Structure formats: structure tokens, C-alpha cells
Amino acid sequence: MFARGTRLLGMAIFVTGLVMGCYAGFRWLQTGHSDATLIQDVILAKLPDRAQAWVARPESWYGLHRVMLWVLEIPLFASLAVGGFLILLAGTASGRR
């Protein structure tokens, strides 16, 4: 039962990422520029003020800051598609046991 639910959740997230990617690609073909939603558009507004200040001007943990900036620039559809695919694989692997 758990494996089936996990596969269903993974498939839903994966398909959502694909649909969002197709829509972003369609808009890019129409307008010639990418207006895909980035992870930073979703995450940064939800962070506490101190964390937002650290993202804007870090005073320590400079390596982590560079990684965070790289991750925040990933399009949301790509992270959903990859995450959903990994959940789908995990549900498939747990269902075989």
C-alpha cells in the first residue's frame, strides 16, 4: 500500500514538472525569452528575515552561499520533474521487496 502511494505521489509530481516545463517551453517559443519560475521565486519570500539577509550579503559560510545561489537559480519545473522521478523510483524499488 505504501509503495503504491509513493509511486502515485512520484508520478503526480513528475507529471506536474513536465507540464510546467512544456508550458515554459511554449512561452519561450512565443516570446523568445524564458520566464520560467525559479526556485528562488518560491523559496526566498518564505525565508525568515535573517536568512534573506544572509542570501543577500553573507558574512560567513561562503561556500554554502555559492551552492545556495546555484540551487536557487534552478527552474522549478526541473526540480519537480527530477524530484518526482526519484520518488517514483524509490516507490518502485520498495514495491519489489
* CA 72 – CA 68 distance, rounded (Å): 6
Cα separations in angstroms, 68 against 44, 52, 63: 11, 12, 9
* CA 8 – CA 69 distance, rounded (Å): 32
Q: Are residues 80 and 51 in the same domain?
A: no
Domain count, the chain: 2
Question: Measured over all CA atoms, what is the biggest interatomic distance in the chain, rounded to whole angstroms?
Answer: 48
Q: Are residues 30 and 43 in the same domain?
A: no
- Retrieve residue 88's grid coordinates: 517514483
State pLDDT tens for residues 66-84. Answer: 999 999 999 999 999 999 9
* CA 36 – CA 34 distance, rounded (Å): 6
Q: Are residues 81 and 66 in the same domain?
A: no
Q: Are residues 49 and 60 in the same domain?
A: yes
Averaged pLDDT of the chain: 92
Which domain does 66 fall in, by range? Answer: 38-74
Q: Are residues 68 and 82 in the same domain?
A: no
Q: Are residues 81 and 95 in the same domain?
A: yes
Q: Are residues 70 and 80 in the same domain?
A: no
Query: Averaged over 43-59, what is the pLDDT?
Result: 92
User: Which pTM was predicted?
Assistant: 0.81
